[in-house]
Amino acid sequence: MPNTRTIVKKVNGFFLLIGELSHFAKKFFVEMWKPPYEFKELLHQCYNVGNRSLPLVGITGFIIGLVLTLQTRPTLQEFGAVSWMPAMVGISIVREIGPVIIALTCAGRIASGIGAELGSMRVTEQIDAMEVSGTNPFKFLVVTRIMATTLMLPVLVIFGDVLALYGSFLIENMKGNVSFLLYFNQVFDALDFSDLLPAIIKTFFFGFAIGLVGCFKGYYCARGTVGVGAAANTAVVLASMLIFVLDFIAVLISDIFYEL
């Protein structure tokens, strides 16, 4: 059993981490509006974050649709409610499963990549060299990456949701001989604007959290190769935890609005 001193030390470390991360986020919002604006680097990072994540996100989304339909269909058959399958899968994927699982997948790829990249730059003193030469490394390295993840994650989630629904359709087509038009008509009939809007909005926050944590851990990486590995590892863990916390807050707010 850990003693009281160890528990207090861990609690203090947790709150210290929250404070440092909040200060880092504040610095991002301050630097984001200051010229010069690194549009070229932003586009480059959008390509790295978005285009290079498409295969992983596409495969993940497609398998989500296949597995969810295969696992749910036998249960609905027992109750004679197979006709509800497109509506149920559509609402589940668009509202919750698609955004969260794809965000977690991106956290594993993007947050670790950013943490390792900036960490290696810190260890090899490239960031220090940028500061000495008069360049603002925070503006060039951090702001562009956080903005890229914030902008690209909603696009990746929409792409993954579409492939997830298509994977679900394939199972329904093979098992129940459901046509493409009938399946997607039932999906879109079940979805409302109030389902789409909160799901899209929270993906911006997911992307911001992934970029913020990855940049924070990499930018303040400890010296040595061990520090780079620790930065990449802790970036994934912390980003995943933040995604769950943000998702809980988003669902809580959405539930309040539904009741109103």
Query: pLDDT digit of tens for each residue in the chain (260 aa)?
Result: 557 878 888 888 888 888 989 999 999 999 888 888 888 989 999 998 888 889 999 999 999 999 999 988 888 888 877 888 888 999 999 988 999 999 999 998 899 999 989 988 888 888 888 888 877 888 889 999 999 999 999 999 999 999 999 999 999 888 888 888 989 999 999 888 888 888 999 999 999 999 999 999 988 887 777 788 888 888 999 999 999 999 999 988 887 776 66
Contact 180, 81 (CB under 8 A): no
Q: Of 98, 114, 107, 220, nearest to 160 (Cα)? A: 98
Residues 6+ apart with CB under 8 A from 179: 173
What DSSP assignment string belongs to 102-148?
HHHHHIIIIIHHHHHHHHHHHHTTHHHHHHHTT--HIIIIIIHHHHH
The answer to whether 117 and 217 have CB atoms below 8 angstroms apart is no
From residue 117, give the alpha-carbon distance in Å to each of 33, 86, 106, 244: 24, 42, 16, 25
pTM of the entire predicted model: 0.91
